[in-house]
Structure 1
Amino acid sequence: KIMEFIEAKSCEQKLRELKENDIVDFLNQNDFCRKRIKLSFDYETYHVKKYRPDIVNNWNFYNMLNP
């Protein structure tokens, strides 16, 4: 009986977790937040973009931030 309870609570928790697409959807609906995060990512990944743009091109969720 306790295992059923734990399993039910575990399933409830998984339903509440944010997924990557949830975050991307939020950012696509909120220009201000998307631009701020994009600026931060651009700053932090400057060297990777400069020397290995092929790596950045494979970052699906990062590329979704581009309007």
Structure 2
Amino acid sequence: MVAPFVRDRMAEDTKMTCVCCHCRRERTAADEWRDRTPVAGERLTHGICPVCLYELYPDLAPLIRPRS
């Protein structure tokens, strides 16, 4: 059994911020992309935002993520 304060700390430690690998914008929980402010010690993972997806891969983008 894990103490509640340890469990909360573990949840904070696994939180990662998804950043577009091209423009460096971050994805919010609502799947929106916004300019990001760097935070010391944050954990990052990479993805690609819809704008960069269509800019860099115009032939594949509609297959991956149709425009809304």
Provide the TM-score with structure 1 as the length reference: 0.35
**Higher fraction of helix:** 1
**Higher fraction of strand:** 2
| Bigger RCO (CA 8 Å, 6+ sep) | 1
